[in-house]
Amino acid sequence: MAKHQLFFLCFFFLTQYLTLTSAKTTAEVALVRWKNSLSDPSSLKSWRLSDAQSLCSNWTGIVCDNLNSVTNIDLNNQGLSGTLSTLDFSAFPSLTSLSLNINQLQGQIPPSIGNLSQLTHLDLNSNLFVGVIPAEIGQLLQLEYLNLYNNDIADAVPVELSKLLRLSYLDIGSNKLSSPDWSKFATMHLLTHLNFGYNNFNGEFPSFLSSCRNMTYLDLSNNKFSGVIPESFYTSLPKLQFLDLSYNSFWGHISPNISKLSSLTELHLSSNHINGSIPESIGSISSLKVVELFTNALTGRIASSIGQLKNLNGLDLRWNGLNSI
């Protein structure tokens, strides 16, 4: 064999070897690099490069597919503190689930999280994240579950969020988020669970909600929303079971069309500026268990049809101008 052929052959095997090993180690290297950036990674003792071959069998919180690509990183409640800035998301092209909830992770949610193109489940709830929701989150087109509940994330919600057309569960409650231009927000047809509660949302009722017809749970409570509840909202959400608009500044009357919310079990409209009378049609929502309308400006007679609500076990109408005759 000629010298240059031998050289070429060696070179060929060397590059093959390097390609294989680098493809195999990228995820381990990325994970250990991130682990080393955390201030107390004692729960991640099993994450050792010397045990790289056991990544899929024995590393805490790691699940792989049968091609040994990491599909799940599940590290909820592991006492982790540090940031995500050193975690190289592009090392996990097959990741479908990332759960880092209930830790002390801080800093920003990195824009590079948008590289997790297969992600269906992202749970960062109950950490110390600050900054904004990165617009790149709108690249996670497979996302079905997004939970950022109970952090310190601020600023307007990016309209890119509404590109997530597969989203069915969205919880961004208990942050410092504010309203975007809702008219730029698209309909999320599969959305069933939405929590915007305990934030700094202001201005009018989010218009896109009236077209999310699969919604079963909606919490906008404890914000600074104002204006009237649009008529189209009452008539468009036949599956809605839980509605909480309390502790805002909504005004205007409760529409008689509230009876079209025919699956409601809980209605919370307390501490707003709602006036007019309670419509008699409320008595036809037979699923109702809890009705809380306290601290509003309701007047007139209490709708006698409320007496027909056989499942009702909580009724609070205090601090209004209602009378019983």
Q: How far is the CB of 165 from ligand NAG (least distance, A)?
A: 10
Alpha helices in the chain (DSSP H): 3-37, 55-58, 231-236
Q: Report if residue 57 touches ligand NAG, rule: CB under 6 A.
A: yes
Within positions 208 to 237, which residues make up the interface with ligand NAG, using CB under 6 A? 213-214, 231, 235
- The answer to whether 22 contacts ligand NAG (rule: CB under 6 A) is no
Please identify which residue in the block is written with the tokens 């709602």.
274
Total residues contacting ligand NAG by CB under 6 A comes to 23
Which one, of 124, 122, 186, lies nearest residue 157 by Cα? 186
The interface mask with ligand NAG, positions 154-173, x = CB under 6 A, is --------------------
Asked whether the beta carbons of 131 and 177 are under 8 A apart, the reply is no
In the complex, the smallest distance separating the C-beta of residue 239 from ligand NAG, rounded to whole angstroms, is 9
Can you tell me the distance from the alpha carbon of 43 to that of 177, in angstroms, rounded to the nearest whole number? 32
Per CB under 6 A, the list member of 13, 40, 186, 189 interacting with ligand NAG is 189
Site for ligand NAG in 75-134 (CB under 6 A): 90, 111-112, 114-115
Phi-psi map region of 298: left, alpha, beta (phi>0 left; psi -120 to 50 alpha): beta
Of 275, 284, 287, 305, the one binding ligand NAG (CB under 6 A) is 275
Q: How far is the CB of 211 from ligand NAG (least distance, A)?
A: 8
The span from the CA of 100 to the CA of 35, in Å, is: 13
Contacts of 186 (CB under 8 A, 6+ apart): 162, 163, 165, 208
Neighbours of 184 (CB within 10 A): 11
Interface residue list for ligand NAG (CB under 6 A): 46, 51, 54, 57-58, 90, 111-112, 114-115, 136, 189-190, 213-214, 231, 235, 251, 255-257, 275-276
